[in-house]
Amino acid sequence: MVLHEITREEQIALDKALYDALNPLASAIRSRETGLSVERMWDAEPVDVALSVLAAWKVVDAEVRRLAAEAAATAGSYGASYEQMGAVWGITRQGARKKWPDAVSRPGARAGTLELFGGTARLVQEPSGGWGWAGEGADGVSGAAVDGVLHGSAEEAAAHAGAFLKEHAVEGA
């Protein structure tokens, strides 16, 4: 697995940026919990201040997880595999699939060609996200998704295309 290390200078800059972002959040949390003004956060008991900082880190952690899931979904939409995402994150392919279950489309949900009953049909995903099909049965009859109706998944479009191909199979072939 590839580990992406950062330099000492990058680590220092990252720490500073995170603390700069965290302090207003920790102050706001502490202010809400005590009724003290944000400016007086540091006047509280040290344990309470430390717990406010910890609560703020929890919020940041949840945001980082959400943003990481968005980045994984974006990578998946551009064709990245779970194996590639896992390598970047330092986990296995299976770990990446578990962490971001919807980031990569299932293999069955791809455009392609069906060859059944002596005919062929092509599955196509439209820009709108819906799925259509067009094909030619073994008897030479052409067909497509009825009136341009799009299906919700590749599997649904394949089922309709398969039914068409079966209907237009050549007897005895």
Average pLDDT over residues 146-171: 82
Residue 14 covered by a domain:
yes
Q: Quote the number of domains for the chain.
A: 2
Using one digit for the tens of pLDDT, what is the confidence trace for 110-144?
Answer: 567 888 888 999 888 877 778 888 899 999 988 88
Domain match, 92 and 136 both: no
Closest CA to 160 of 173, 146, 171: 146
The H or E element spanning position 70 is helix 46-77
pLDDT of residue 3: 53
DSSP 101: T
Residue 31 covered by a domain:
yes
Residue 173 covered by a domain:
no
Domain match, 68 and 148 both: no
pTM here is 0.56
Using one digit for the tens of pLDDT, what is the confidence trace for 13-56?
Answer: 999 999 999 888 888 888 888 888 877 777 778 888 888 889 99
Q: Is the dihedral of CA 148, 158, 144, 135 positive or negative?
A: positive
Q: Are strands 119-125 and 142-144 parallel, antiparallel or unpaired?
A: unpaired
Domain match, 132 and 53 both: no
pLDDT of residue 108: 45
Q: Average pLDDT over the chain, rounded to whole?
A: 84
Q: Which tokens hold the place of 28?
A: 């706001």
Domain match, 32 and 90 both: yes
**What's the domain range around 124?**
111-168
Percentage of the residues of the chain whose pLDDT score is greater than 90: 31
Percentage of the residues of the chain whose pLDDT score is greater than 70: 91
**Residue 2 in this model has a pLDDT that exceeds 70:** no
Domain match, 85 and 117 both: no
Domain match, 89 and 121 both: no
pLDDT of residue 109: 45
pLDDT of residue 113: 83
Domain match, 150 and 128 both: yes
Residues 30, 52 contacting (CB under 8 angstroms): yes
Domain termination residue (choose one: 76, 99, 122) = 99
